[in-house]
Amino acid sequence: MIKWTSIIFLFLLLTILTQIGGLVFLCAILIARFLGWKKRWKKLLLSLTLYLITSLVIIPHVAPIFGREPIKHREDILPATWFTVLTNRNYVRPTINKLLLKTAKKVKPQGIKIIYLDANFPFLNGFPLLPHLSHNDGRKLDLALVYENKKGNIIPAKQSRTGYGVYVNPLAGEINQIQKCKKAGYYQYDFSKYCSLGAVNQELVFSKKGTKYLVEALLDHSEIQKIFIEPHLKTRLKLTDNRVRFHGCRAVRHDDHIHLQIR
């Protein structure tokens, strides 16, 4: 009984975390049973090997049949953490890859690289990539903000291990949406602080000019339907395009990353 409970628990956990991990795990258990393997380390090794082959070799070739592909890496388009790639959280519709490529070329002379966070899983519209409920159709992507050193030089970096949860807080006199949402009872609004896994690169500061340049380069593309960024940053960066919107108090704060979605 306990054994089946742990199998179901692991299946659900791996499915929530990686979409295909749960199924791969079940296949590994069936194969091990068929081969009569009893040793736990053998089963674990088989699960890991099957998962890596499926995730890194098979899925990138199968997902395009269903309309999504992994984000194409270049020297100037990179994940904030390789965990995103290992867990299949890096899939988008081809339109996003095309506009990322054009944007990366445009912002390169400013020293900006595109550092991406969570995207979507490879399959099934409506299957959410938790904790982002809306990242469920290949049309959504989170990007890191742009940072600079004390001399004002743009440095491609992130400020937390996951890219989430280290904020560019409102300054005195700026609109404080965080306070407003929390006062209205939306206590989850800054829960992403628990997802940072620790702050890094704290010698860097938020780059107003770099982030503005990146957001405006993205907005050059008519395929962009919406960009979410926290209201105080929208004002600070003087972003006037009406596709730059407030995401609502039911979401989490967006002064640690930019969320984009295409039409």
Q: What contacts 4, CB < 8 A, 6 or more positions away?
A: none
From candidates 68, 89, 247, 259, binder to Zn ion by CB under 5 A? 259
> 109: which 2 tokens?
């002379």
**In this chain, which stretch among 7-15, 61-69, 177-185, 251-259 interacts with Zn ion, using CB under 5 A?**
251-259
- The nearer residue to Zn ion, 113 or 259, going by C-beta atoms, is 259
Compute the least distance from the CB of residue 122 to Zn ion, in Å: 17
Supply the DSSP symbol for 245.
Answer: E
- The nearer residue to Zn ion, 43 or 259, going by C-beta atoms, is 259
The residue at minimum Cβ distance from Zn ion is 259
Q: Contact between 142 and Zn ion (CB under 5 A)? A: yes
- Are the CB atoms for 244 and 258 separated by under 8 Å? no
- Are the CB atoms for 90 and 68 separated by under 8 Å? no
The separation between the first and the last C-alpha atoms of the chain, rounded to the nearest angstrom, is 48
For residue 148, give the 3-state DSSP assignment: strand
Q: Contact between 254 and Zn ion (CB under 5 A)? A: no
- Are the CB atoms for 242 and 206 separated by under 8 Å? no
Compute the least distance from the CB of residue 204 to Zn ion, in Å: 22
**In this chain, which stretch among 15-23, 141-149, 167-175, 193-201 interacts with Zn ion, using CB under 5 A?**
141-149
Which spans of this chain sit near Zn ion (rule: CB under 5 A)? Answer: 142, 259
